[in-house]
A = this chain, B = another copy of it.
Amino acid sequence: MSPLDDPAVTPLRVAVLGAGTVGTEVLRLLEQQRDDLAHRVGARLQVIGISVRDRTKDRGDHVDPALLTEDPHALVREADLVVELMGGIEPARTLLLEAMAGGASVVTANKALLAQDGAELYEAADAAGVDLHFEAAVAGAIPLVRPIRESLAGDRIQRVLGIVNGTTNYILDAMTRTGAEFDEALASAQRLGYAEADPTADVEGLDAAAKASILASLAFHTRVGLQDVHCEGITSITADDIAAARRLGSVIKLLSIVERIDDEDLGERISARVYPAMIPATHPLASVSEAYNAVFVQADAAGSLMFYGQGAGGSPTASAVLGDLVSVARQRVHGGKGPGESNYASLPIAPIDELRNGFYVALTVDDQPGVLAAVAGILSSHGISIATIHQEPIGASPEAGGVAGRDVRARIGIVTHTAAESAMSTALDDLSTTAAVVAIDSVLRVEGE
């Protein structure tokens, strides 16, 4: 007998916490695909309640008002499966801990919570013998958590590198397309719904860093929290930087990079970092536009894999949530437990100072004889060798301290060969105290070459 008709098959009770864009879409798909999901799970999924902050708000056709509740604590006590889509740390954290302590398996899209309190959540899941799934927390609809956690479980991952924040990608894309400054591009992204009213988490790189911490934890079997991720956002990227990138045949993308580093003396360590970087315009990531995400995974045996798709939005995120929901529901019906935390490797985190990178450095200098030699000399004294250098006068203007018709300042753009981050850091200190250097305008990593 099919699980749809068999009265002996008890439906699984599902609590949905949050009915925003993703929650509403999850509820719509649960309704629209109810028979399909019952077949795939082996039991019906019955939504027993939807917790919201305001029960009186209209939420469209797919949210049954009779199921709305403002008491999520009572709701999770009654559930077999809890889908958390509220976002934020509290009350999401307490509710998930209550749900798991009560024996419910949990699906969440909450990257900030996982990055901050992942260890506590995993321990609670383990103690209760329940599942904790979070495919939707990284790269929206793109299957990435499951492939890294399961498909590559027999391989050794070296590096995960990608674009995992759609908002910043949209903004950088707009700056590249239109020549706009950051503020204009952000305002346009906000008008179009690609950026939130408070864009901090996106533009400061925190959202990408939370995702990097999740990816690093999975890839390297090590606890990696948000505090372990070196994080730089895109707020200081200028139209000049974008133009310089174009001149160099590159584009600027906000990258999340997690990496295994083998060092003869220091042994095996890992690095997790988020920063805007110049990548060649011919690199596959360069053509990832607007709110799309793309992630490369390199592993010893598998080689290089790429995953591409929509990284955000109601439907794509709901797809990932429902995939997880079917998984945890199947485990309920068929017994057993999905993969839990794997942190046996406990590799140390290499500080950013100890890494090596190519750099792009833009300086404003006094346009006088010997400046270029001085700049090159400072870099060289720190063991940094120059790959390309470009100097052009800055149009004379009273602001620039110039005299009409005569250029007194110049812009120097330098691309270095691979150099130690620490060497670059002290070289920049030296440059900043060099009389002829008026300003260090930009420092960007160069990746993907």
A residues adjacent to B (C-beta < 8 A):
2, 25, 29, 33, 36-37, 39-40, 135, 141-143, 146-147, 150-156, 221, 299-310, 315-316, 318-327, 330-331, 334-337, 339, 342, 344-345
Contact check, B302 vs A305: say whether CB atoms are below 8 A apart.
Answer: no
Starting from the known contacts A146-B147, A301-B322, 9 additional A-B residue pairs (CB-CB under 8 Å) come to A29-B155, A39-B342, A39-B345, A40-B221, A150-B326, A301-B315, A302-B316, A331-B336, A335-B337
**B residues within 8 A CB of A345?**
36, 39
Contact check, B308 vs A303: say whether CB atoms are below 8 A apart.
Answer: no
Contact check, B344 vs A305: say whether CB atoms are below 8 A apart.
Answer: no
Contact check, A316 vs B303: say whether CB atoms are below 8 A apart.
Answer: yes
Contact check, A308 vs B308: say whether CB atoms are below 8 A apart.
Answer: yes
Chosen A-B contacts, 12 in total, with CB atoms closer than 8 Å, are A2-B344, A40-B221, A40-B342, A40-B344, A141-B303, A143-B151, A150-B323, A301-B315, A301-B318, A302-B309, A302-B316, A306-B309
Contact check, A147 vs B143: say whether CB atoms are below 8 A apart.
Answer: yes
**B residues within 8 A CB of A320?**
151, 302
Distance between A261 CB and nearest chain B CB, rounded to angstroms:
17
Contact check, A302 vs B153: say whether CB atoms are below 8 A apart.
Answer: no
**B residues within 8 A CB of A315?**
300-303
Q: Which of B40, B155, B335 contacts A323 (CB 8 A)?
A: B155
Copies of this chain assembled into the complex: 2
Q: How far is the CA of A151 from the CA of B315 in the complex (A)?
A: 14
Q: How far is the CA of A11 from the CA of B66 in the complex (A)?
A: 52
Q: How far is the CA of A29 from the CA of B135 in the complex (A)?
A: 27
**B residues within 8 A CB of A300?**
315
Q: How far is the CA of A31 from the CA of B260 in the complex (A)?
A: 21
Q: Which of B152, B319, B342 contacts A154 (CB 8 A)?
A: B319
**B residues within 8 A CB of A33?**
154, 156
**B residues within 8 A CB of A308?**
305-308
**B residues within 8 A CB of A322?**
153-155, 301
Contact check, A152 vs B156: say whether CB atoms are below 8 A apart.
Answer: no
Contact check, A307 vs B306: say whether CB atoms are below 8 A apart.
Answer: yes
Contact check, B299 vs A319: say whether CB atoms are below 8 A apart.
Answer: yes
Task: In the A-B complex, list the 6 residue pairs whose CB atoms are closest, starting with the nearest.
Answer: A336-B336, A154-B322, A143-B151, A141-B302, A301-B319, A143-B147
Pick the most buried of A25, A33, A150, A345: most chain B CB atoms within 10 A of its CB: A150
Contact check, A305 vs B309: say whether CB atoms are below 8 A apart.
Answer: yes
Distance between A347 CB and nearest chain B CB, rounded to angstroms:
12
Q: How far is the CA of A419 from the CA of B141 in the complex (A)?
A: 33
Q: How far is the CA of A321 from the CA of B304 in the complex (A)?
A: 17
Q: How far is the CA of A342 from the CA of B316 in the complex (A)?
A: 23
**B residues within 8 A CB of A310?**
302-304
Contact check, A146 vs B142: say whether CB atoms are below 8 A apart.
Answer: no
Contact check, A326 vs B39: say whether CB atoms are below 8 A apart.
Answer: no
| Nearest B-chain residue to A25, judged by Cβ | B301
Distance between A176 CB and nearest chain B CB, rounded to angstroms:
19
